[in-house]
């Protein structure tokens, strides 16, 4: 099952920025019941956000983030069917919007299509699990937990194999759970093979072209080191007031996830732009192959994260839907993925001093956090289709269902029961 990650990025009419901001803040204050986009009806959607950013140089942008199941056409039809009026009101505040009314479907959707930004790199925590499946498996697990409470209360637990039998009988005997027995695969063989094939081709190409690539790499390294040693030191940032605004929307009660949207300026010159482009390409290659089992470089808490170079590569947009607190997320980044994230953001202005692309940088914890906070924009609207689930619990729930009727040996059966 394919998942698609993209953003629609449009320029906002300067005269209507405050009007749009008001509209978005109304949406954001009660996202599930907002009158513009009925998120709960969009069954393909995992996470979505609307961010209005105003920049002195680039002007006001509206970033509409969508992480959904399946292909774009189907999603756009669904979006239009449920939210035409709201989209029309929102995009009426944007430049070059052609539709005169919400009924002009072709104009509205072609406007959206024209402003699609596909990420340079992205990561998905629970590959191949649709939003609907995620919700169903969560309910299934809750049902099993309640059932197992009864098993315990009756004082008749028995060995793991007999516990499994009891749960299997429950599923077979209850029509409400019948769907659970037919497990669709997370990915088709093709979906699994294509990224690996791409990786193999890239590796072979790199080998074949090594006589050219190695001298190029040496030139690149010299240029990199020269650049690093001649760049001005990053400024000390005072982000207290900015953080005060950001945290008003963070750590909401009854939501175990948080949202982060960051826009940074790529350092001037083609060298940094090209380096960033290369680094993101490499990250994407790895994210499609090695990091498709729930963790991105050891970080187990990212549902959907994506990097997009925008404005002809002059700015970098990073958007993430993650579990837990921002502090914890950033600590994870610093402790487990400082290498990769330094390689990305060292190409942007204000990042802590870096050596050899991946050294130091984010390891300067408090300066890196100040930089990350300074780069963040205020998320006006943010929706999650499953507010109580982490990447790890979603995966655990999937494994409970996938292994329910599988033949398991004693150890595997014991491990299955431990999933509760």
Binding site for other proteins (CB under 8 A): 141, 145, 148-149, 151-152, 155, 157, 159-160, 163, 233, 240, 243-244, 247-248, 250-254, 256, 298, 323-325, 327-328, 331, 335-336, 353, 363-366, 388, 390, 392-393, 396, 414, 417-418, 420
Residue 66 or 393 having the CB closest to other proteins: 393
Residue 25 or 331 having the CB closest to other proteins: 331
Residue 56 or 146 having the CB closest to other proteins: 146
Smallest separation, CB 329 to other proteins (Å) = 10
- How many angstroms separate the Cα of 212 from the Cα of each of 198, 204, 207, 218, 255? 21, 14, 10, 10, 51
Residues facing residue 305 across a β-bridge: 123, 320
Residue 70 or 365 having the CB closest to other proteins: 365
Cα–Cα dist 203/285, whole Å: 11
Cα–Cα dist 256/353, whole Å: 33
Residue 256 phi, psi dihedral angles, 5° rounding: -90, 0
Q: Tokens in use for 69?
A: 């199941």
Smallest separation, CB 322 to other proteins (Å) = 12
Residue 74 or 325 having the CB closest to other proteins: 325
DSSP character at residue 403: T
Residue 55 or 335 having the CB closest to other proteins: 335
CB 130 within 8 A of CB 74: no
CB 64 within 8 A of CB 7: yes
Cα–Cα dist 391/364, whole Å: 28
Smallest separation, CB 336 to other proteins (Å) = 7
Smallest separation, CB 355 to other proteins (Å) = 12
Smallest separation, CB 149 to other proteins (Å) = 6
Beta carbons within 8 Å of 17's beta carbon, 6+ residues apart: 52, 54, 60, 93
Residue 280 or 370 having the CB closest to other proteins: 370
Smallest separation, CB 54 to other proteins (Å) = 23
Smallest separation, CB 222 to other proteins (Å) = 22
Long-range Cβ pairs for the range 28-34 (8 Å, 24+) = 28/249, 28/379, 28/380, 28/381, 28/382, 31/381, 31/382, 31/383, 32/383, 34/86, 34/381
């Amino acid at each position: 099952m394919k998942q698609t990650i993209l953003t629609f990025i449009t320029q906002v009419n300067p005269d209507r920025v405050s009007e749009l901001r008001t509209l978005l803040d109304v949406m954001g204050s009660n996202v599930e019941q907002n009158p513009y986009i009925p998120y709960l009806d969009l069954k393909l959607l995992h996470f979505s956000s609307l961010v209005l950013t105003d920049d002195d140089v680039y002007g006001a942008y509206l970033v509409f983030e969508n992480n959904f199941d399946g292909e774009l056409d189907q999603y756009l039809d669904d979006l239009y069917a449920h939210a035409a009026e709201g989209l029309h009101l929102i995009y009426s505040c944007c430049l070059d919007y052609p539709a005169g009314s919400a009924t002009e479907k072709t104009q509205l959707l072609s406007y959206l299509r024209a402003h699609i930004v596909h990420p340079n790199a992205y990561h998905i925590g629970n590959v191949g699990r649709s939003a609907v499946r995620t919700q169903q498996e969560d309910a299934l697990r809750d049902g099993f937990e309640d059932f197992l409470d009864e098993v315990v209360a009756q004082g008749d637990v028995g060995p793991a194999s007999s516990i499994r039998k009891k749960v299997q009988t429950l599923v077979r005997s209850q029509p409400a759970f019948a769907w659970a027995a037919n497990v669709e695969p997370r990915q088709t063989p093709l979906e699994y093979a294509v990224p690996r094939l791409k990786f193999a081709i890239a590796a072979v190409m790199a080998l074949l072209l090594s006589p050219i690539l190695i001298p190029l790499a040496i030139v690149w390294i010299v240029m990199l080191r020269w650049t690093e040693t001649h760049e001005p030191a990053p400024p000390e940032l005072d982000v207290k007031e900015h953080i005060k605004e950001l945290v008003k929307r963070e750590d909401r009660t009854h939501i175990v996830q948080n949202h982060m949207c960051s826009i940074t300026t790529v350092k001037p010159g083609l060298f940094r732009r090209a380096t960033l482009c290369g680094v993101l390409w490499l990250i994407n290659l790895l994210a499609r192959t090695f990091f498709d089992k729930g963790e991105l470089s050891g970080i187990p808490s990212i549902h959907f994260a994506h990097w997009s170079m925008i404005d002809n590569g002059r700015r970098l947009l990073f958007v993430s839907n993650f579990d837990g607190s921002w502090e914890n997320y950033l600590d994870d980044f610093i402790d487990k993925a400082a290498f990769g994230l330094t390689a990305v953001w060292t190409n942007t202005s204000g990042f802590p001093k870096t050596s050899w692309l991946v050294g130091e940088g984010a390891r300067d914890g408090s300066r890196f956090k100040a930089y990350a906070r300074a780069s963040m924009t205020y998320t006006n609207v943010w929706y999650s289709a499953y507010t109580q689930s982490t990447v790890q619990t979603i995966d655990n729930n999937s494994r409970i269902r996938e292994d329910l009727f599988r033949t398991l040996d004693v150890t595997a059966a014991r491990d299955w029961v431990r999933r509760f």
